[in-house]
Every structure is written in structure tokens, then in C-alpha cells.
């Protein structure tokens, strides 16, 4: 049996707040110990499999995720975003659900700090907010769910993806942003250093002021699309992920 592991959030983050989630996923966690091979989407998740799932490292392989082909610099994105959403390019962007793990309070604080450095800087939030989201995010442009091409436009037109997540199994929004030529400011935790590497700014985990300063700095970069991000994104591909996954299954089937 081969198990693909995306994260162990109920055990790695949240303490007693995650007891309900631990109960829901207890069977999946038990499968980790029975699996012949566990495929983790990042080295951080692989380490969590050892720490929280009792998985022997000899039964672990890291197979990183990648992004859809739609995520690339999109010509004319700024005009389309302005026409459809009424937002001028160069804004700060957050993508994903606003649950406790994504730290909405830190997002607002980082935006406030960034606006001190760059007055008028807007915040755009894309994606379904989720059941844990605050009732309002004062002053932010909340776009809700977007199609793939719409999201690629929103990434391309952004000044910086600001990502205050406190834990990620992989961190797909960061890679999507980089692939679209949008720099990333994020906390240095879990898998994010593996994804962002040198193509953005990683700050001390939980330091919202440092996150805002980094986001303001990156939003001021005029060389677009952000070439370091595009080059970094090339290190990840679904073709390689498929090849490595097939090889893993074949090794177990022998």
C-alpha cells in the first residue's frame, strides 16, 4: 500500500483546537504506519510523518507538487483585473481560506505596516473565505472564488503575495504566485522555505511587522514579471511528480 500525505495539520498545528480534526482523520494517520511507502509533498511534511505518524524514514519519499499550466504571466492582466474587479495593479494579494492557521489578524497588521511604507497600497483577497474567516476584513477587496485564468490574472497584476500562514503542507499559492511572476512575502515555517527559496522574502514566523515591511519592499519592485519567481517555479513540474510517483508504485509492486 502506498499513501500520499499532503499534511498533518491536525497534529502539527493548533494544539487542543484541532481535537475534532484529529478524530476525523485518525484512520488516515493509522494508515501511515501500515503503508509500504509514504509519498510526502514536501520535506517538512515528511518530517512531520516521522514525528507525528511514527513513519520510518526508509518508507518515505518526497514528491513535491507543482502548478497548473494556466499559472504563468498573463499579458493584459492589469487591465482585465481593473475592468472586472476595479482594482489597480500593484496591490498586496492573499489567496486561500481565512482560517485560524492563515492568521487573518497578521494579514491585516502586515497590510497596515506596508501601507505606512507605501500609502494607498490595496489588499486583495481571493478564494472562498471558509467557515473560520472573520466576518469582515476592513478595507480589503474580497473577490471570492475565481477561475484558473482569473486567478492567474490576479497573481500577475499583484505587487506581492503576502502569506501569513503559520503552517503549510506544501504552500501551493506561493508557487502559483511565483509561476505568474509575482514575488512572495511569507513566514519562515513548515514547507514554505522549500517552495519560496530565494524567490521572495521569508521573515520570522509570526512577525507581522516584518512581513508587512517585506511585502512593501517587494511590491515596489518594478521589474515585472518577477524573473526569480518564474525560474524558481520551473524547479517543480507535474511531469516529474508523475514520474516519481509511478516509480514509487513500481518499487512496491516488485
84-125 residue pLDDT tens: 999 999 999 999 999 889 999 999 999 999 999 999 999 999
Q: Is residue 186 part of a domain?
A: yes
Tell me the mean pLDDT in the region 141-163.
97
Query: Is residue 59 situated within a structural domain?
Result: yes
Q: Say whether 184 sits in a helix, a strand or coil.
A: strand
| Same domain, yes or no: 88 and 201 | yes
Query: Is there a single domain that holds both residue 182 and residue 225?
Result: yes
Check residue 202 and give its pLDDT. 98
Task: Name, in order, each residue with C-beta under 8 angstroms of 66's C-beta and a sequence gap of 6 or more.
Answer: 175, 236, 237, 238, 240, 241
pLDDT in tens, 194-216: 999 989 999 999 999 999 999 99
How much is the pLDDT for 224? 93
pLDDT value, residue 134:
82
Those residues whose C-beta lies under 8 Å from the C-beta of residue 199, and which sit 6 or more positions away, are: 178, 183, 184, 226, 228, 229, 231, 232, 233
CA dihedral for 123, 129, 133, 134, sign (positive or negative): positive
Identify the domain containing residue 227 by its residue range: 77-233
What is the pLDDT averaged over residues 160-178? 97
Both 176 and 209 in one domain: the answer is yes
Distance CA 99, CA 119 (A): 27
Q: How many domains does the chain have?
A: 2
Residue 71 domain flag:
no
Task: Indicate the pTM of the whole model.
Answer: 0.94
Residues 101, 222, single domain; the answer is yes
Tell me whether residue 96 is in a domain. Answer: yes
> Do 215 and 249 sit in the same domain of this protein?
no
Q: What is the 3-state secondary structure (H, E, C) of 78-136?
A: HHHHHHHHCCCCCCEEEECCCCHHHCHHHHHHHHHHHHHHCCCCCEEEECCCCCCCCCC
In a domain, 72, yes or no: no
Question: What pLDDT was estimated at residue 157?
Answer: 98
Find all residues with CB under 8 Å of 254, minimum gap 6, and list them: none
Report the C-alpha dihedral over residues 211, 9, 176, 137, rounded to 10 degrees: -50
What are the DSSP E strand ranges found in 133-177?
141-144, 160-163
pLDDT digits (tens, 9 = 90+) for 217-254: 999 999 999 999 999 999 999 999 999 999 999 999 87
Residues 54 and 139 in one domain: no
In a domain, 127, yes or no: yes
Q: Are residues 142 and 178 in the same domain?
A: yes
Are the CB atoms for 77 and 249 separated by under 8 Å?
A: no
Determine, yes or no, domain membership for 193.
Answer: yes
> Largest Cα–Cα distance of the chain, in whole Å?
62
Digit-coded pLDDT (tens) for 69-86: 999 999 999 999 999 999
> Are 242 and 155 in a shared domain?
no
User: Do 92 and 217 have their domain in common?
Assistant: yes
All three cell numbers of 141, joined, read 477587496
Residues 6+ apart with CB under 8 A from 75: none
CATH number of 143's domain: 3.40.50.2000
Integer-rounded Cα Rg, in Å, for the chain is 19
Q: How far from 24 is each of 18, 78, 101, 132, 152, CA to CA, in Å?
A: 10, 42, 18, 17, 33
Q: Which residues of 83-119 are buried (b: 16+ CB within 10 A; e: fewer)?
A: eebebebbbbbbbbebbebbbbebbbbbbebbbeebe
**Residue at 190 is within a domain:** yes
209 and 249 fall within a common domain = no
Same-domain check for residues 49 and 172:
no
Q: Are residues 103 and 166 in the same domain?
A: yes
Report whether pLDDT(132) > 80.
no
pLDDT digits (tens, 9 = 90+) for 28-68: 667 788 899 999 999 999 999 999 888 999 999 999 999 99
Amino acid at each position: 500500500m502506498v499513501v500520499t500525505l499532503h499534511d498533518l495539520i491536525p497534529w502539527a498545528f493548533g494544539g487542543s483546537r484541532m481535537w475534532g480534526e484529529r478524530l476525523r482523520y485518525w484512520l488516515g494517520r493509522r494508515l501511515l504506519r501500515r503503508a509500504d511507502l509514504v509519498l510526502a509533498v514536501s520535506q517538512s511534511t515528511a518530517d512531520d510523518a516521522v514525528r507525528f505518524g511514527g513513519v520510518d524514514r526508509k518508507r518515505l519519499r518526497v514528491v513535491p507538487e507543482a502548478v497548473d499550466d494556466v499559472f504563468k504571466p498573463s499579458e493584459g492582466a492589469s487591465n482585465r483585473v481593473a475592468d472586472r474587479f476595479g482594482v489597480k495593479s500593484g496591490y498586496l494579494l492573499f489567496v486561500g481560506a481565512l482560517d485560524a492557521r492563515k492568521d487573518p489578524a497578521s494579514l491585516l497588521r502586515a497590510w497596515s505596516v506596508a501601507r505606512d511604507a507605501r500609502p494607498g497600497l490595496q489588499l486583495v483577497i481571493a478564494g472562498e473565505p471558509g467557515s473560520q474567516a472573520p466576518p469582515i476584513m476592513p478595507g480589503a477587496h474580497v473577490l471570492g472564488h475565481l477561475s484558473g485564468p482569473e486567478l492567474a490574472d490576479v497573481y500577475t497584476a499583484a505587487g506581492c503575495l503576502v502569506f501569513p500562514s503559520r503552517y503549510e503542507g506544501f504552500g501551493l499559492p506561493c508557487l502559483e504566485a511565483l509561476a505568474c511572476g509575482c514575488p512572495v512575502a511569507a513566514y519562515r515555517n513548515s514547507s514554505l522555505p522549500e517552495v519560496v527559496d530565494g524567490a521572495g522574502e521569508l521573515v520570522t514566523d509570526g512577525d507581522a511587522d516584518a512581513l508587512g515591511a517585506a511585502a512593501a519592499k517587494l511590491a515596489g519592485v518594478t521589474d515585472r514579471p518577477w524573473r526569480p519567481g518564474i525560474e524558481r517555479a520551473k524547479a517543480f513540474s507535474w511531469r516529474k511528480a508523475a514520474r516519481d510517483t509511478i516509480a514509487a508504485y513500481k518499487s512496491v509492486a516488485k
